[in-house]
């Protein structure tokens, strides 16, 4: 996991401003205190009279969804110069994967397996949003996501606690920089605390039931990692967790976050999630909701007004103490001091780079390039050689759609700044190749096959068909969940129609989630999974198609064969009857009127193979990498010790490329059952053709700790398996043991 305290952020400076905070709180009246706990929504570059009044009265702590610099400056001027105490505002915005320069969706960034790249993308997003007055973003979203039906998997960093932790910390560092007070740094917010990604049936806002052991071993580690790294704020989940909605969950907010983790930052609700406690059936009315949320430890209310309306009476009745309110207010003020807002609350756009500058676009292009995952490449049809191709057919509704390639949750991104795949391919090949273009269908959801004929015509007369399919950006993201995650509309039929021409198909998929592609995979000669790649998606994809770069992305989430396999993830438990190829039997292999038996007697479905279509960590390259000669510095270590793992990585192909080497372990016997594999390390390595390199990993006994049945974090002595390779199904394995230290 990321090391503690390596960022100079609010966690490390938690007491620096205490004297100023105490003095300021002592001067505040109750309305001003509750104001600091209240976040209001903006009004599209205007300040209505009721909001101006609240600002002058010091009754607003934060504004969200206002990005007009002039309006933000005026709101800050009102609170600083006209309110009694002059407390500046937090200006919040969902800057999820870019501001004006849009990067791949977070799930796509996770496919880069590059903390450096994720940090760089977040840094650009911080610089651009800060130039418009934003000082707080509601990212990173570090919910472990194992159900691709869930729309918000697009915003996640995937299914694995270790990968999510490393990349989440990198994103926090990118947003917050080395010091929150630096120009261009903005506060990050870890969301959604906690377990939101386990929503039943993949339906947003739905119930989550997660045993505490699973919660601590899988869903909480990324949040603990960013807390230790100094993330400025947390956001409570919409969902209920084991019967107690997160926005009123005292165990989660007090015991875990405050007492166990000693987290000093503040917690904000999600949009109206306090008011929604009554919709859950957890409270009878808004007053009870305000009590439960404040008592649980929700420091700021987003948009709804239960705190404003009911905290005074709850204090008067003795249900909430003034000291509780003072503690909540102090946390909010501490962030404002840490951001330097008391010294300079105003925008300093002249000290920041221009929006969409060349440097920012270059980072976006690099991020899109490294996020694409090559899933199939039969007969090495890729990369294309423009000098040896007579004609290309460009087919699909996403080939030239500047908006849809941006992806979900891009409030500030603009289509006119995108470079599409069609544009980029035209720029790449010039006049060397005859180019034909047909959308084939009007949109990814269309069922109208009326334009198939044109697409078939150009494919028939072309050397290769490049198809750009997937799902529109609106089909993933918050509240955009799907029960069937195949290619929507009549896209599968379009692929079949083009396949019938006999022209080779290279399929580029843009989507916000894993899709079930098993049916169409045999029809495509190559498949490049591009997620929603952002502003510079077109040039990045063109670079990959024509071999300027080799694909190097790896899947951060498992791809199921069918939706019925969900949830499907690599770190599963073995069960007492694990599935094997020997035990698997397809239902079509069962004789009619067979005797009633348990058949293979293993954990499988009868109508699909138990393996995924593509495993976690999977991704092809234009070259071939070979792993061999795995070795350990020692095969037995005591508790508290570490061992070094070495492996020889060779590029045995003829193309220079990058590989993501992955280290997995299995604890064979545990106080509670352990996953069949767990990611414990990875390295992104550039290797020239024909070259070899020895990679080294350090693994400590602490890296193998887990929460046992008593919810105690511990490493147990015993036997372990260890693998290193290019994906989670690697077979290059060795073994080691951990023993009790001998006195």
* pLDDT digit string, tens, across residues 505-523: 999 999 999 999 999 999 9
Helix (H, G, I), strand (E, B) or coil at 193: strand
- What pLDDT is attached to residue 4? 42
pLDDT score, position 10:
47
* pLDDT for res 593: 87
User: What is the number of residues in the chain?
Assistant: 743
Q: Rounded to whole angstroms, how far apart are CA atoms 224 and 256?
A: 9
Domain boundary among 335, 351, 367: 351
**CA 185/CA 428 separation, integer angstroms:** 37
Domain edge (last residue) among 319, 351, 383: 351
**Is 325's pLDDT higher than 70?**
yes
Q: Are strands 657-667 and 718-725 parallel, antiparallel or unpaired?
A: antiparallel
Average pLDDT, the chain: 96
Domain assignment present for 364: no
Burial letters 266-275, b for 16+ CB under 10 A, else e: bbbbbbbbbb
170-202 pLDDT, tens digit per residue, is 999 999 999 999 999 999 999 999 999 999 999
What is the mean predicted confidence (pLDDT) over 85-92?
A: 98
CA–CA gap between residue 50 and residue 59 (Å, rounded): 11
Whole-structure pTM value: 0.97
Euclidean distance between CA atoms 562 and 53, whole angstroms: 56
> What pLDDT digit, counting tens, does each position of 399-411 carry?
999 999 999 999 9
Strands (E), 607-739: 625-632, 636-638, 642-651, 657-667, 678-687, 692-700, 706-707, 713-714, 718-725, 733-739
- How many structural domains does the chain have? 2
Beta bridge partners of 427: none
Positive or negative: CA dihedral 584, 492, 458, 402: negative
The verdict on residue 551 lying in a domain is no
Q: Are 349 and 132 in contact (CB under 8 A)?
A: yes
* Average pLDDT score over residue span 221-238: 98
Q: Which residues contact 698 (CB under 8 A, 6 or more apart)?
A: 642, 643, 644, 645
CA 132 to chain centre: 25
**Domain containing residue 714: CATH number:** 2.60.40.10
Whether 266 is in a domain gets the answer yes
Q: Is residue 520 part of a domain?
A: no
Q: Is residue 533 part of a domain?
A: no
User: 599: helix, coil or strand?
Assistant: coil
Q: What is the pLDDT of residue 596?
A: 79
Mean pLDDT value across residues 338-360: 96
Instruction: Judge contact between 103 and 362, C-beta under 8 A.
Output: no
Domain of residue 308: give its range.
18-351
Q: Which of 65, 29, 10, 37 is nearest to 298 (CA)?
A: 37
270 assigned to active site: yes
What is the rounded CA–CA span in Å between residue 136 and residue 185?
9
Of 94, 160, 240, 270, the active-site residue reads: 270
How high is the pLDDT of residue 226?
A: 98
5-19, 233-247, 301-315: least confident range? 5-19
Q: Over the stretch 475-509, which tens digit does the pLDDT of each residue have?
A: 999 999 999 999 999 999 999 999 999 999 999 99
Q: Say which CATH number the domain at 124 has.
A: 3.20.20.300
Bridge partners of residue 663, in order along the sequence:
681, 724
pLDDT at 1 over 90: no
pLDDT band at 14 (very low <50, low <70, confident <90, very high): low
| Domain closes at, from 326, 351, 376 | 351
Q: Is 70 left (phi over 0), alpha (psi -120 to 50) or beta?
A: alpha
Would you state the pLDDT for residue 595?
Answer: 83
pLDDT exceeds cutoff 60 at 524:
yes
Establish if 61 belongs to a structural domain: yes
Is residue 613 a part of any domain in this protein? Answer: no
Is residue 647 situated within a structural domain?
Answer: yes
């Amino acid at each position: 996991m990321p090391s503690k305290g390596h960022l100079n952020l609010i966690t490390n400076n938690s007491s620096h401003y205490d004297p100023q905070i105490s003095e300021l709180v002592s001067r505040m009246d109750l309305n001003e205190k509750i104001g600091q706990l209240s976040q209001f929504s903006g009004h599209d570059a205007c300040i209505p009279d009721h909001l101006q009044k609240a600002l002058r009265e010091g009754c607003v702590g934060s504004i969200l969804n206002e990005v007009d610099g002039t309006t933000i400056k005026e709101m800050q001027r009102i609170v600083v110069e006209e309110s009694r105490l002059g407390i500046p505002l937090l200006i919040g915005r969902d800057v999820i994967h870019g501001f004006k320069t849009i990067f791949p969706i977070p799930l796509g960034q996770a496919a880069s397996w590059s903390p450096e790249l994720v940090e760089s993308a977040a840094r650009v997003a911080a610089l651009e949003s800060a130039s418009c007055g934003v000082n707080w973003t509601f990212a990173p979203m570090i919910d472990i996501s194992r159900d691709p039906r869930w729309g918000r998997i697009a915003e996640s960093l995937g299914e694995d606690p270790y990968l999510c932790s490393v990349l989440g910390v990198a994103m926090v560092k990118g947003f917050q920089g080395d010091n929150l007070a630096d120009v261009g740094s903005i506060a990050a917010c870890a969301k959604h605390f906690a377990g939101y990604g386990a929503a039943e049936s993949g339906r947003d806002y739905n119930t989550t039931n997660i045993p505490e052991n699973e919660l601590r071993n899988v869903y909480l580690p990324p949040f603990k990692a960013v807390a230790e790294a100094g993330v400025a704020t947390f956001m409570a989940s919409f969902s209920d967790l084991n019967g107690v909605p997160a926005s009123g969950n005292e165990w989660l907010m007090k015991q875990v976050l405050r007492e166990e983790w000693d987290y000093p930052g503040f917690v904000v609700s999600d949009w109206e999630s306090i008011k929604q406690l009554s919709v859950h059936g957890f409270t009878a009315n808004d007053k009870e909701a305000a009590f439960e949320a404040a008592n649980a430890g929700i420091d700021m209310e987003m948009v709804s007004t239960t705190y404003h309306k009911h905290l005074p009476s709850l204090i008067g009745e003795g249900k909430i103490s003034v000291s509780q309110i003072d503690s909540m207010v102090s946390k909010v003020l501490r962030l404002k001091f840490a951001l330097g807002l008391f010294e300079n609350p105003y925008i300093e756009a002249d000290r920041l780079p221009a929006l969409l500058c060349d440097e920012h676009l270059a980072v976006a292009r690099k991020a899109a390039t490294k996020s694409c995952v090559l899933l199939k490449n039969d007969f090495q049809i890729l990369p294309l050689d423009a000098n040896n191709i007579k004609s290309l057919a460009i087919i699909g509704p996403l080939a030239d759609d500047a908006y849809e390639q941006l992806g979900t949750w891009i409030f500030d991104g603009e289509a006119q700044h995108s470079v599409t795949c069609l544009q980029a391919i035209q720029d790449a090949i010039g006049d060397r190749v005859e180019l034909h273009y047909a959308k084939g269908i009007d949109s990814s959801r269309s069922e109208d096959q009326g334009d198939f004929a044109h697409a078939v015509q150009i494919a028939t007369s072309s050397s290769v068909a490049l198809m750009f399919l997937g799902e529109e950006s609106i089909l993933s993201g918050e509240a955009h969940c799907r029960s069937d995650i195949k290619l929507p509309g009549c896209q599968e039929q379009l692929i079949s129609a083009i396949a019938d021409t006999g022209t080779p198909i290279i399929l580029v998929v843009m989507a916000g989630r894993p899709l079930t592609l098993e049916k169409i995979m045999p029809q495509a000669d190559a498949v490049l999974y591009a997620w929603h790649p952002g502003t510079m998606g077109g040039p990045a994809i063109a670079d990959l198609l024509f071999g300027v770069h080799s694909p190097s992305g790896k899947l951060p989430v498992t791809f199921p064969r069918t939706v019925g396999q969900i949830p499907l993830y690599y770190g599963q438990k073995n069960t007492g009857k694990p599935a094997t190829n020997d035990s698997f039997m397809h239902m079509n292999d069962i004789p009619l009127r067979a005797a009633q038996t348990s058949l293979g007697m293993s954990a499988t479905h009868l109508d699909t193979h138990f393996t995924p279509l593509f495993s976690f960590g999977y991704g092809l390259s234009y070259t071939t990498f070979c792993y061999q000669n795995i070795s350990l510095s020692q095969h037995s270590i005591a508790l508290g010790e570490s061992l070094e793992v070495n492996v020889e990585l060779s590029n045995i192909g003829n193309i220079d490329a990058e590989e993501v080497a992955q280290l997995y372990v299995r604890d064979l016997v545990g106080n509670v059952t352990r996953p069949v594999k767990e990611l414990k390390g990875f390295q992104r390595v550039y290797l020239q053709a024909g070259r070899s390199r020895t990679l080294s990993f350090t693994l400590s006994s602490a890296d193998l700790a887990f929460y046992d049945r008593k919810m105690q974090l511990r490493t147990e002595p015993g036997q372990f398996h260890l693998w290193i390779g290019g994906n989670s199904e690697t077979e290059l394995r060795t073994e080691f043991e951990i023993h009790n230290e001998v006195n």
